[in-house]
């Protein structure tokens, strides 16, 4: 029994020692395998995968052709944003050419390419924005006879694009008038619920009573429509017949109707501010192009 027990003990000791000895062997074998040999293969695979992905995300390169234009300039010409901002959109992957994301700076767009900017397709024609300080005896209408010339004569030669006036002005109304070939902007500023402010200087046939000024300031109903007036006041150092009025409507007829509603005759209307644009350094009868920042401001109003 003692021998058996001894044998059992020895055998048990041998088993345990073998098991203890065998335990580190797999670990040693794992370490001996060494990931170093596999690492180059893994890195190579990752690099190859990245290259494949980049090639898939980039528009195919093509030889340079005539009338090409840098992608950031193409975007800026469309009026979406400035060139600097366009670079940010390109780097972030928000610009596609012919359905393929382009992140390459300096990418050239050719005629016929379809550029998608932040989810919207850009039109290839450059958007033009021209601000005119309109004089008297010019009208936005085309059917008022030859004695009343059209306002387009005043901006003739400014651009080859087919531009139109934003809103209407009769022959007696003067001041700021915007021209553009951006149909979205024209539509925006002719909607009755648009939010940009316009300021008019109105000359009346007699002094405006203070009680009438207060009534106008509270708003009124014209032809069944509520007219909201942001502000109305007398003009400093001018007779009480010279009034400044601020409202959102770009329809000059609304301005005239407000004062006629209180039995005043309107002699002159001059639009001195339009959605943040002013007549500063723009003499009567002259025009200028809007700056990139002014265009962005108009789109955001």
Cα-based distances in Å from 249 to 93, 136, 217, 234: 39, 21, 15, 20
pLDDT at 184: 79
Query: Per-residue DSSP letters for 175-193?
Result: EEEEEES-HHHHHHHHSTT
pLDDT at 179: 96
d(C-alpha 151, C-alpha 156), whole Å: 9
pLDDT (tens place) for every residue of the chain, 301 residues total: 455 444 544 444 444 444 444 555 455 454 555 555 555 555 555 545 555 454 455 555 555 565 788 998 888 777 788 888 999 999 999 999 999 999 998 899 988 899 999 889 987 677 899 999 999 999 998 765 556 789 999 999 999 888 999 988 999 999 999 999 887 788 888 887 778 899 999 999 999 999 999 999 998 999 888 888 999 999 999 999 999 999 988 788 999 999 999 999 999 999 999 999 999 999 999 999 999 999 999 988 7
Classify residue 133 by its DSSP letter: E
Cα-based distances in Å from 236 to 133, 216, 243, 244, 259: 23, 19, 9, 10, 19
User: Is the pTM value of this prediction over 0.75?
Assistant: no
Sort 218 into a burial class: Cβ within 10 Å, 0-12 / 13-18 / 19+.
Answer: exposed
CB atoms within 10 A of CB 30: 10
pLDDT at 224: 86
- Which residues are within 8 A (CB) of 195 and not within 5 positions of it... i.e. 6 or more apart? 248, 301
């Amino acid at each position: 029994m003692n021998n058996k027990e001894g044998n059992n003990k020895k055998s048990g000791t041998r088993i345990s020692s073998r098991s203890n000895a065998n335990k580190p062997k797999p670990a040693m074998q794992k370490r001996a395998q060494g990931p170093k040999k596999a690492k180059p293969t893994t890195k190579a695979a990752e690099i190859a995968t990245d290259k494949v992905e980049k090639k898939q995300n980039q528009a195919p390169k093509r030889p340079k052709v005539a009338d090409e234009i840098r992608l950031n300039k193409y975007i800026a010409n469309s009026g979406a944003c400035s060139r600097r901002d366009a670079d940010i959109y390109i780097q972030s992957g928000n610009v596609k050419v012919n359905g393929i994301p382009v992140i390459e700076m300096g990418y050239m767009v050719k005629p016929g390419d379809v550029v998608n900017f932040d989810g919207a397709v850009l039109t290839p024609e450059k958007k033009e924005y021209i601000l005119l300080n309109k004089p008297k005896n010019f009208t936005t209408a085309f059917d008022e006879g030859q004695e009343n010339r059209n306002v387009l004569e005043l901006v003739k030669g400014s651009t080859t694009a087919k531009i139109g006036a934003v809103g209407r002005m009769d022959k007696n109304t003067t001041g700021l008038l915007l021209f553009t070939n951006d149909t979205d902007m024209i539509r925006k500023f002719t909607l009755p619920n648009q939010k940009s402010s316009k300021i008019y200087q109105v000359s009346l046939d007699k002094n405006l009573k203070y009680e009438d000024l207060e009534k106008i300031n509270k708003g009124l109903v014209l032809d069944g429509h509520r007219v909201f007036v942001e502000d109305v006041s007398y003009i400093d150092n001018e007779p009480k017949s010279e009034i400044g009025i601020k409202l959102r409507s770009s329809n000059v007829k609304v301005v005239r109707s407000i004062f006629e509603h209180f039995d005043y005759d309107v002699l002159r209307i001059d639009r001195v501010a339009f959605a943040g644009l002013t007549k500063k350094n723009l003499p009567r009868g002259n025009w200028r192009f809007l700056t990139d920042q002014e265009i962005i401001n108009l789109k955001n109003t």
